[in-house]
Amino acid sequence: MSATTAALDDARIARMSPLISPALLRHEFPVTPEVADVVSRGRAEVVDILDGRDDRLLVIVGPCSIHDPDAALEYASRLAAVSARLSGDIRVVMRTYFEKPRTTVGWKGLINDPDLSGGFDVNRGLRLARQLLLDVSALGLPVGCEFLDPITPQFIADIVSWGSIGARTAASQTHRQLCSGLSMPIGIKNSTSGDVGDAVDGIRAAAASHVFMGINLDGIAALVTTTGNPDVHLMLRGGASGPNYSAAHVSDALASLSKADLPRRLMIDASHGNSGKDHNRQPGVVRDIAARLAAGERGIAGVMMESFLVAGRQDLGGSSMVRGQSVTDACIDWSTTSSLLEELAAAVRARR
Ligand SMILES: O=C[C@H](O)[C@H](O)COP(=O)(O)O
Ligand SMILES: C=C(OP(=O)(O)O)C(=O)O
């Protein structure tokens, strides 16, 4: 290659490194028959709740991000016990988020940087993520995560029962196409502005069939043709214009769905814009929703909470990290979480 043509390519690529293939990762961390059963039953139960065939409430709950698999597994074992006890009233799915969309820059999650150090050992991150998904599922708890990088699902999606497209990617064609081929129900968040229009458009786009470029399980470039995902739903997470979990906001959002000929169902995220990122406000949001459920509200199919062992958040890189405390958004603690789960289950019983 002459000097002139060489300068046309990779001018801003510092390096390319080998990445494990999805097939090899799946071979190293195979799904057991027991885990397969948890994943498929989790998916089916979520769809039944969304479609109104199951009158329970879907509750997606867990840390804002996974940074310490051991602490996450301790959280999962506590959650599995409460989930089993309340399983007649709520379907608990653990938030097991490995990919973080950042407003500007910051730690992008365990897959991208598992050592929390800027080492970006993605191969290790993928192995840790897949092992944790298997471990949590083995407790009988289905898992949910946000899909951000469009090739991540090939590495882990076979162990995921519920997925999310975040507020920052709700309008992205790439993510809508991805949703159209994913095997599980997916919640699309309203935009960070608070506007629900992009998410409603996203649900319609994801329901359609698409053809796009991706990778196969061997990590080779592939043309992917999807059939469309009918289980994509709206998530109200509040935004720059304030919270949007009130009865009036829910009614407006359901009307927007009807207008677009989409099923009248949605979930509410009690964190993020609905609590102004203040974890102390999440219980108030959840209790407000619980009261409305108990009074007969049927448009709200699910609730999301950000919760970990210890309340609040901490910055990465401090000299002593607190075990079980979030390194991204602030979370409610375990005892608050278990009380709120009990209250949501009681609200579902009252609604019956
Ligand atoms: O859920 C986590 C955060 O809200 C999201 O990743 C954005 O975080 P940031 O605004 O701190 O970058
Ligand atoms: C990033 C998240 O939320 P949002 O897209 O609503 O900001 C999240 O749920 O982790």
For 47-100, the pLDDT digits (tens) are 999 999 999 999 999 999 999 999 999 999 999 999 999 999 999 999 999 999
Say yes or no: CB of residue 274 within 6 Å of ligand 1. Answer: no
Give the pLDDT band (50/70/90) at residue 5. confident
The answer to whether residue 14 sits within a structural domain is no
Say yes or no: CB of residue 64 within 6 Å of ligand 2. Answer: yes
pTM: 0.97
The answer to whether residue 35 sits within a structural domain is yes
The answer to whether residue 13 sits within a structural domain is no
Say yes or no: CB of residue 95 within 6 Å of ligand 2. Answer: no
Q: What is the CATH number of the domain that holds 133?
A: 3.20.20.70
* Residue to mutate, 282, 329, 331, ligand 1, most ligand atoms under 8 Å from C-beta: 329
Q: Is 92 left (phi over 0), alpha (psi -120 to 50) or beta?
A: beta
d(CA 146, CA 127) in angstroms, rounded, equals: 17
Of the listed ligands, the closest to the CA of 100 is 1
For the stretch 208-256, pLDDT in tens is: 999 999 999 999 999 999 999 999 999 999 999 999 999 999 999 999 9
- Ligand 1 atom, smallest distance to 102 CA: 12
The answer to whether residue 235 sits within a structural domain is yes
φ and ψ at 194, to 5 degrees?
A: 105, -10
Pairing assessment for the beta strands 300-306 and 143-146 based on DSSP bridges? unpaired
The amino acid sitting at 301 is A
ipTM over 0.95: yes
Provide the number of structural domains found in the chain. Answer: 1
The answer to whether residue 8 sits within a structural domain is no
For the stretch 253-297, pLDDT in tens is: 999 999 999 999 999 999 999 999 999 999 999 999 999 999 999
The answer to whether residue 115 sits within a structural domain is yes
Find the domain containing 101 and state its range: 20-351
Give the pLDDT band (50/70/90) at residue 3. low
φ and ψ at 215, to 5 degrees?
A: -125, 155
The answer to whether residue 138 sits within a structural domain is yes
The answer to whether residue 258 sits within a structural domain is yes
